[in-house]
C-alpha cells in the first residue's frame, strides 16, 4: 500500500560518548565468532581509507557534536586502523576498548590520559575546544595508540606461543 514511512529516533548517546566517559564502553560484538577472524583484503582497504579528520569535520559542522565526543571518534578510528595494520582481530582491538575490571581503566582510557598529560592537560581539568582540536593532542594520541597496539601484538604473540607449547606438550604426553 501507500502507507507512510517514518523514522523513530532512538538514543545514540553511546555511539560517540565524551572521551571523558569511556568507562562505560560496551561492545556487544566482542565475543561474536567473526570478531576473532582476521580482516579480508576489502575490509583492510576500507579501514585504511577511513579519514577521522574528515569525519570529525563533517560531524562538527553538520551536527555540532562537542569536541570531546569527536576525540572519541579520532581515538576509535586511529585504534582500528593501527590494530588492523598490525594484524590484530576486531576481538583483540575491542579488548583494548573495554574495562576488564570495573575499577581498572581500559587501555584506551590510559591512552587518553597519557596523551593529555603529554600536552599538559587532564581529564579532570578544563580542556578548551581548541585544546581538544590541537595537532599536539592528536599526535600524542597517535603515538600512545601505536605503542598500545604494539604491546597488544606482543602479548598476543606470547599467548599464541604459550598455547602452541602447551598443545605440543599435551600432545607428547599422550
- Considering the chain, what is the average pLDDT of its residues? 88
CA-to-CA distance for 136 and 68, rounded, in angstroms?
15
Tens digits of residue pLDDT in 41-90: 999 999 999 999 999 999 999 988 899 999 999 999 999 999 999 999 99
Model pTM? 0.84
Displacement of CA 60 from its chain's centroid (Å): 20
CA-to-CA distance for 118 and 87, rounded, in angstroms?
28
Instruction: Give, as one character, the DSSP assignment of residue 103.
Output: T
Predicted pLDDT of residue 146: 97
Is pLDDT at 174 greater than 60 in this prediction?
A: no
The lowest-confidence range among 155-159, 161-165, 168-172 is 161-165
Let me know how long the chain is: 174
Tens digits of residue pLDDT in 121-156: 998 888 999 999 999 999 999 999 999 999 999 987
Amino acid at each position: 500500500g501507500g502507507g507512510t514511512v517514518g523514522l523513530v529516533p532512538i538514543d545514540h548517546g553511546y555511539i560517540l560518548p565524551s572521551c571523558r566517559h569511556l568507562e562505560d564502553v560496551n561492545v556487544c560484538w566482542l565475543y561474536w565468532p567473526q570478531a576473532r577472524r582476521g580482516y579480508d583484503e576489502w575490509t583492510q582497504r576500507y579501514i585504511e581509507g577511513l579519514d577521522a579528520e574528515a569525519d570529525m569535520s563533517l560531524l562538527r559542522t553538520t551536527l555540532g557534536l562537542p569536541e570531546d565526543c569527536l576525540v572519541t571518534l579520532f581515538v576509535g578510528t586511529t585504534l582500528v586502523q593501527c590494530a588492523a595494520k598490525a594484524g590484530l582481530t576486531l576481538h583483540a582491538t575491542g579488548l583494548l576498548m573495554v574495562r576488564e575490571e570495573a575499577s581498572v581503566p581500559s587501555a584506551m582510557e590510559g591512552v587518553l590520559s597519557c596523551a593529555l598529560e603529554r600536552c599538559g592537560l587532564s581529564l579532570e581539568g578544563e580542556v578548551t575546544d581548541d585544546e581538544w582540536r590541537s595537532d599536539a593532542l592528536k599526535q600524542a594520541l597517535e603515538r600512545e595508540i601505536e605503542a598500545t597496539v604494539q604491546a597488544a601484538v606482543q602479548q598476543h604473540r606470547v599467548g599464541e606461543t604459550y598455547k602452541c607449547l602447551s598443545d605440543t606438550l599435551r600432545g607428547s604426553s599422550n
